[in-house]
Amino acid sequence: MDSTPAPPDAAPVAHAAPFPVVGVGASAGGLEALTGLLHNLPARPGFALVVVQHLDPAHASGLVALLARVTRLPVCEAADGAPVAADRVYVIPPNADLVVRAGAFRLTPRSAARGPHHPIDTFLFSLAKERADRAVGVVLSGTGTDGTLGLKAVRAAGGTTFAQDDTAKYDGMPRSAVAAGCVDAVLPPEGIAAALVRVVEATGPAPDAAPTGADTDAVKRSEQLVVSVRAYARGIVETVRSPLVILDAALRVVSANAAFYDTFRTTPGETEKRSAFDLGDRQWDVPELRALLNEALSKNGAVTNHEVRRALPGGGERVMLLSARRMVPPVPPDGAHVLLAIEDVTDQKRAEAALVESERRARERAEELAALLDAVPTPVFIAHDPDCRHMTGNRAADELLRNPRGADASLSAPEGAKPLHFRAVQHGRALETGELPAQRAAKGAAVADFEFALAFDDGTAREMLAYATPLRDEQGHPRGAVSVLVDITERKRAEDALRARQAQLLSFVEQAPAALAMFDRAMNYLAVSRRWMSDFGRGHGALVGLNHYAVHPDLPDRWKEIHQKALAGAPQSSEEDLWVRADGSKVWLRWAVRPWLDAQGAIGGIMILSEDVTARKDAEEAARDRAVHLAAVLNTAADAIITIDERGAIASVNPATERLFGYGAAELVGQNIKMLMPPPYRDEHDGYMARYATTGVKRIIGIGREVQGQRKDGTVFPVELSVSEVLDGQRWFTGIIRDITQRKKAESALRESERFAHSTLDGLSAEVAIVGPDGIILAVNKAWREFAAANGMSPERVGEGTSYFAACAGSGGPGVADGALAVAGIRAVLARQVPEFVTEYPCHGPAEERWFLMRATPFPGDGPPRAVVAHENITRRKELEREVLESAAEEERRIGRELHDGIGQELTGLGLMANALVRQLDGPAGPANPLAGKLVSGLQRVHDQLRTLCRGLLTAELDAQGLRAALRELAQRTSDQSGIACTLECPEPVPVSNPTTAKHLYRIAQEAVSNALRHGQPALVRIGLHATPHGVRLSVADDGPGIANGTAIGWEAKGLGVSTMRYRANLIGGALHIGPAGATGVLVTCTVPQEDDRGEDQ
């Protein structure tokens, strides 16, 4: 049934009210239009606005929040019993019908009747009856005809009506209202907003409203408003298509619009200032019109839709609707006037009659169609708009979707308003908005054979097959769709089950480890396994569909006979059968041929199962060969091999057992194995066997153990026993027994030798350690342990199992370089790069200076590389060397003084006499003798060499600043004497407070420069002296060819004075390092700590 409300059955009753009420109806596309309307309203428009939007009845609406974002007016949902207030926007709630009565809202549940639901008409009927001439009706975008009858009621009550123009996204509702002739103005949403404000301003306050006593400024604003309203009203009058005429209080024509003159074929000159009853041929001079106009001039103020029938010139009898409205000041300002509207509704009346009849027939057809659809077991949905916002379905549709009977469904409602208890899914993906068949059809595309699933929140799902057809309006535009869903869940399940069974069968055949093929009665292939393809495919890419005899044309007749017997119902099989392949090779097959039955129980064909047992045949032959070989192995094995059963009884022995224990095989077989064990093992063996049988815990099986055996003569000897378990119908144990008497003697001798070696090491005074390839200390002697304890070094740092390399690298202070050199040297020994590594290093204590010599040599023997590292205290030797060095230095000084003071003075005297001799020879007596000149130059050369020698021997005592000057002099002298550039790099003074330290540093520099000149062939020698955070650093670098292998370990053995330099460095507590200076050349550095930094070294 149609739920369109019936028109009011009584004349509207006007209720005095201080503000108008505007009812706005909208459907599809209405949100956009409502946004444009509300956005253009002022904050206090002077009226209440009620939005009646078509909403999904089953879900909450988000319209209030959406509209509140676009308007300055308060927006709320209409509540039952709430009073209507001006300057507010009210929104109809879902699943309800809204009316206004006695100044308050009334809500009733939405009607459950089938057919279109018209909530807009329902509200506008109540609004016309409630507000009369202060009712305003607006119809915006939407499909269908809802709102048309409501606008008629508003207009009949003297109210104002508007409809959206062609800006409507869906023009069905506004176009229906315009076609019905009940719209005062057709405007866009923003135009309707402006018109609403002006209409409300033009109507002024309610008739019963008391004057406000406005001041002069208010009067001026009112006058300006009057001018604006009059101009606006004139514009509206001229745009109205129905005849309008304005009469004064004497009912004379003041003015008329163009439609009036066109309709009645007259002119302003023939009309204005004439009595309305004298117009034309006085056809309007009728009592009904007089009464109508008089009533309009009375206090009632308006009479609407008074129907009269009159004959017009050239038009025959026409049906007219006359509406009169009293116009009071300020419009017009010269007294009350009457606005008379004449509407020719002849065609409308005819159309309405036809429409009523059509609607009656349509309702009947709709009821018949609804009954028909409810009787159809297939779900059918009807989308009433192109966006599928409002959809209805038959009984089967409601049952499918689990919706309340007759409830609307929506496929494109805003989030929060969609049905949440099911989802549309296709191929595991949720379908998005616009992908469902109804939505696609509502946009104009027919859909057929669309499969998808409805997944419900309770975990169930239904498979659906959908068809959808578009519904179109008069212009052919899509306005909705009809969608039919066929539940194919059971069919899909059956198909899935069938496919699963087929897939299982084909998979079974294909994956079968044996050669398996399935044939029909004509011996055509239905399915084959991979093994069949490899064994009997004969190069075919696929066999399914081919005939077996065509693939194997040379198949012997006996096989065809076997096939026929199986097709007749007699299964055939063979455990071993020789098969000759196409290439002539032969294999052994185990096969079976069996018939298979179809769904009716008849033989549909045969299945052939073939298994290649050639490997088994070969294995059996190999097993026989292995048995022969095993017997030979057992007979020749040097170890005793005994097999016993789970009771411990001996089952077999090999000849070695007889030789080892002195028993014959006949004496052992059948006896308990414990006869070969001495006490107490003999007494405990049965308990071992019983415990294993009960618990299964293995104590010797698969592990091996050293035990004792007892020979026939009673002697006991050590043996190594390995036991394995074999399960072959029963439990067997096989033991392999080896006599380890000689190995035990060797192990004892080795232990004795190790004790001797440890005793020897402990007897040495030097600290000795053996290190492995990764620097881990493997063993140390007693002296090593005692030295570590005496110097506060724990075993966790330098004991067995610790890293000696880490101990060397962790040494602090100036000994770091010695530690790195020691690690490099030991690594070279371990790598067999050098036969021996020796270095000396300081290890001073807080109260004394100590020196040690470290010697690393390879550890003899097989196995991984190891090194013997020995440390020997050479402090006393160092002290003697220092004394010798000091004595030598003193002797050098003495020799220098004697050469300078003795021979030097004599050479000076000889030189003076030689010069005198030359002068005499070169005098007047005659020319100089050349031999005398040579004598003078020779004496001078010897004197210069003597001075140079003395300068080297008589090095001055170097003070805090003297080292820098001495090194500068050394560089200059080297450059002068050798012709090779030698420079000093010492940008700032470097104080060396200890003269002895300065002297040794000078000697080290002197020796390093000498070595560079003699062995490096350099173009440049650089001497450097720099202060470091902890001391002084001396360096000598050349740009010669450098060290051949990039390391200084082997360089020290070349006789280049390195030992002397290192000795001097050790004397002053320094560290000497020799290495490459870069890509070429050699760099010698000596780093000496400050006096207060020379503490205990690592």
Q: How many helices (H) and strands (E) does the chain have?
A: 32, 41
The pLDDT assigned to 177 comes to 94
Q: Say how far apart CA 913 and CA 317 lie, in whole Å.
A: 173
Query: Region 733-756: what's the mean pLDDT?
Result: 85
Res 6: pLDDT: 45
Query: Which range, 158-167, 261-270, 593-602, 684-693, is most confident?
Result: 158-167
Q: Which of 8-22, 78-92, 395-409, 656-670 has the lowest mean pLDDT?
A: 8-22
Read off the pLDDT band of 1019 (50, 70, 90): very high
> Do the beta carbons of residue 91 and residue 61 sit within 8 Å?
yes
- The pLDDT of residue 1048 is 46
227: helix, coil or strand?
helix
For 166-170, 515-519, 856-860, 991-995, which range has the lowest pLDDT when averaged over its residues?
A: 991-995
Per the CB < 8 A criterion, the answer to whether 622 and 602 are in contact is no
Amino acid at residue number 1098: Q
pLDDT higher for 120 or 888?
120
Q: Which of 576, 715, 598, 726 is nearest to 651 (CA)?
A: 726
Closest among 321, 301, 298, 297 to 247, alpha carbons compared: 297
| CA dihedral for 426, 430, 436, 440, sign (positive or negative) | negative
Question: What is the distance between the alpha carbons of residues 103 and 93, in angstroms, rounded to a whole number?
Answer: 18
φ and ψ of 688, to 5 deg: -60, -45
Kindly report which listed range (18-27, 394-403, 486-495) carries the lowest average pLDDT score: 394-403
pLDDT by residue (tens digit) across 455-469? 888 888 999 999 999
| Tens-place pLDDT, residues 514-560 | 889 999 999 999 999 888 888 888 888 889 999 999 999 988 999 99
In DSSP terms, which residues pair with 137 in a beta bridge?
A: 23, 161
Helix (H) or strand (E) holding 788: helix 782-790
Q: What structural domains does the chain harbor? A: 21-203 (3.40.50.180), 238-352 (3.30.450.20), 377-487 (3.30.450.20), 494-617 (3.30.450.20), 637-739 (3.30.450.20), 745-873 (3.30.450.20), 959-1098 (3.30.565.10)
In whole angstroms, give the CA distance from residue 200 to residue 41: 12
Whether the Cβ atoms of residue 999 and residue 955 lie closer than 8 Å to each other: yes
The confidence band for 80, taking pLDDT boundaries of 50, 70 and 90, is very high
Confidence of residue 1044 (pLDDT cuts 50, 70, 90): low
334 confidence band (pLDDT: 50, 70, 90)? low
Q: Given this model, what pLDDT does residue 237 score?
A: 65
pLDDT of the residue at 481: 94
pLDDT digits (tens, 9 = 90+) for 348-405: 777 777 778 877 887 788 778 778 877 888 899 899 889 888 888 888 888 888 777 6
Q: Give the three-class secondary structure for 595.
A: strand
Has residue 339 got a pLDDT over 70? yes
Query: What's the whole-number mean pLDDT along residues 911-924?
Result: 70
pLDDT of residue 232: 55
- In whole angstroms, give the CA distance from residue 626 to residue 601: 51
Give the number of other Cβ atoms within 10 Å of residue 50's Cβ.
22
User: What pLDDT, on a 0 to 100 scale, did the predictor assign at position 1093?
Assistant: 46
Contacts 24+ apart (CB under 8 A), 908-917: 908/943, 910/939, 911/936, 911/939, 911/940, 911/943, 914/939
Q: How far is residue 27's CA from residue 173's CA, in Å, rounded to a whole number?
A: 8
Residue 152's pLDDT band (cuts 50, 70, 90): very high
CA 1044, distance to chain mean position in Å, is 56
Q: What's the chain's length in residues? A: 1098
Confidence of residue 303 (pLDDT cuts 50, 70, 90): confident
**What pLDDT is recorded for position 728?**
73
- Quick one: pLDDT at residue 944? 66
Provide the pLDDT for residue 415.
Answer: 45
**DSSP states of 630-687 as a string?**
HHHHHHH-SSEEEEEETT-BEEEE-HHHHHHHS--HHHHTTSBGGGGS-TTHHHHHHH
Which percentage of the chain shows pLDDT scores above 90?
A: 33
Are residues 190 and 36 in contact, defined by beta-carbon separation less than 8 angstroms?
yes
Whole-number Å distance between alpha carbons of 127 and 155: 11
Q: With 0-12 CB in 10 A as exposed, 13-18 as middle and 19+ as buried, what is 383? A: buried
pLDDT number for residue 1: 43
What's the pLDDT at 147?
95
Question: Closest Cα partner for 117 from 482, 376, 407, 418?
Answer: 407
- Name 308's Cβ contacts closer than 8 Å, sequence gap at least 6: 286, 288, 289, 319, 320, 322
Write out the two tokens for 159.
């109210």
> 29: buried, middle or exposed (CB in 10 Å: 19+, 13-18, 0-12)?
buried
pLDDT-derived band at 235, boundaries 50, 70, 90: low
Spot the catalytic one: 27, 323, 410, 412. 27
Sequence letter at residue 293: L
What's the pLDDT at 453? Answer: 92
Question: Which residue type is seen at 236?
Answer: I
1091 and 1069 in contact (C-beta within 8 Å)?
A: no
Q: In this predicted structure, which of 69-83, 485-499, 909-923, 964-978 has the lowest mean pLDDT?
A: 909-923
Q: What distance in Å separates the CA atoms of residue 852 and residue 870, rounded to the nearest whole number?
A: 10
Q: Is 758 a catalytic residue?
A: no
Quote the CA–CA distance of 1098 and 1094 in Å, as a whole number: 11
Per-range mean pLDDT, top range of 170-174, 637-641, 1028-1032: 170-174
Judge whether 978 counts as a catalytic residue.
Answer: no
More confident residue, 704 or 23: 23
Q: 604 pLDDT exceeds 80?
A: yes
Higher local confidence (pLDDT), 184 or 958: 184
Q: How remote is the C-alpha of 95 from its chain's centroid?
A: 45
Token code pair at residue 509: 């055949």
Predicted local distance difference test score (pLDDT) of residue 202: 63
Indicate if the pLDDT at residue 1036 is higher than 80.
Answer: yes
Name which residue leads in pLDDT, 257 or 795: 257
Q: How high is the pLDDT of residue 416?
A: 42
Of residues 56, 121, 133, 146, which has the active-site annotation? 146
> What SS3 class is residue 671?
coil
Q: With b meaning 16 or more CB within 10 Å and e meaning fewer, what string describes 1002-1039?
A: bbbbbbbbebbbebbebeebbbbbeeeeebbbbbbbbb
Report how far residue 456's alpha carbon sits from residue 329's, in angstroms, rounded to the nearest whole number: 67
More confident residue, 240 or 427: 427
Q: Which of 54, 118, 390, 844 is catalytic?
A: 54
Task: Give SS3 for 711.
Answer: coil
- Per-residue pLDDT of 707-742, as tens digits, reads 999 999 999 999 999 898 888 778 899 999 999 999
pLDDT value of position 222: 47
Does pLDDT of 1029 surpass 90?
no
Spatial CA neighbour of 447 closest among 415, 481, 487? 481
pLDDT band at 93 (very low <50, low <70, confident <90, very high): very high
Whether the pLDDT of residue 959 is over 60: the answer is no
- Quick one: pLDDT band at residue 9, thresholds 50, 70, 90? very low
Distance of alpha carbon 707 from alpha carbon 1008, whole angstroms? 70
Give the Cα separation of 279 and 256 in Å (integer): 13
Task: Supply the mean pLDDT for the chain.
Answer: 81
Q: What percent of the chain has pLDDT over 70?
A: 84
